[in-house]
Amino acid sequence: MESKINTIEHLLKQSIHFDSQNNFHHYVEGLYGKEEGSEKQDWFDWKTRAINVILSVMSEDSPSYISASSYNKPRDYGTTYQYAVQTKEDLEIALNNTKNALLEDKYGELKQEKSISRDPTLSNKVFIVHGHDETLKTDVERFIHEIGLEPVVLHRQVDNGNTVIEKFEENSSDIGYAFILLTPDELAYTVDQKDLPDEDRKTELRARPNVIFEFGYFVGKLTRKRVCCLLKGGVSMPSDLAGVVYKNVDNGVESVGLAVMKQLRTAGYKINF
């Protein structure tokens, strides 16, 4: 994902070079003076790369895909300066939208991978790992219920005399997907900051340690494609888990509901829309 974002940012920086009539076409002598001829190689290369990255990332029904694909074919009657400028502006918009979708797929516009084969012994359960934010936990449980699945929250399960880790393993045995609620439950700083005055100390908001532990457990058990992190309140994100799906829920679970449902369907779950 990071490599795609870097590619898009590089393309957006390059686009500023196409700022005059001479940057798009070669000019030839025609009957009425100079006329626009073939596209210049730099412009053709930029346009092709921009289209390719958009089409590789976005779903076919997204506005960005539709816009980019409309420029992915030669025009029978050639191109003009005005058309080239319009192409550049539309692709810049589509590139920015694609970048935003990679950072937070709020509208569920990213291209989904083919459904991951799902073990038939798995149930319709999804696990919810949470910290101290009771409101978010309840909202996610309600959302999971509404789409026809069964949310599993550890503290609601029977102990059966098990230790916490045994209870955790027992109740996650037939789970095929996990939501990790990363909420700002702790204020933390590194050891080198401890003697500094409060106003000079660099602090960050972090999730509870048990949440991070269970996060890693499910990435190892299910693979990162079956784990979705829901972020809230400016909490810091683990730096070594690139590729895990992150979604911001500061505006509520419903704000990312469509994207979440697409992720669950890709993982093999049958859900109610």
The tokens describing 162, both together, are: 């098990």
Pairing state between β 125-129 and 227-231: unpaired
Residue 160 is predicted with a pLDDT of 72
The tokens describing 203, both together, are: 């602090």
Q: At what angle do helices 41-57 and 2-14 cross, to 10 degrees?
A: 150
Largest CA distance in the chain: 92
Residue 121 is predicted with a pLDDT of 46
In total, the chain counts a number of residues equal to 273
* Positions of the chain with pLDDT under 50: 76, 115, 120-121
Q: What is the pLDDT of residues 141-184, one digit of tens each?
A: 999 999 999 999 988 887 777 888 888 888 888 899 999 999 99
In angstroms, the CA 23 to CA 17 distance is 8
The pTM score is 0.59
Phi, psi of 72 (to 5 degrees): -95, 35
Domain residue limits, the chain: 2-103, 125-266
Residue 243 is predicted with a pLDDT of 65
CB 235 within 8 A of CB 184: yes
**In this structure, CATH architecture of domain 125-266:** 3-Layer(aba) Sandwich (3.40)
What does the H/E/C string look like for the chain?
A: CHHHHHHHHHHHHHHHHCCCHHHCEEEEEECCEEEEEEECHHHHHHHHHHHHHHHHHECCCCHHHHHHHHCCCCCCCCCCHHHHHHHHHHHHHHHHHHHHHHHCCCCCCECCCCCCCCCCCCCCEEEEECCCCHHHHHHHHHHHHHCCCEEECHHHCCCCCCCHHHHHHHHCCCCCCEEEEECCCEEECCHHHCCCCCCCCCCEEECCHHHHHHHHHHHHHHCHHHEEEEECCCCCCCCCCCCCEEEECCCCHHHHHHHHHHHHHHCCCCCCC
Phi, psi of 159 (to 5 degrees): -75, -45
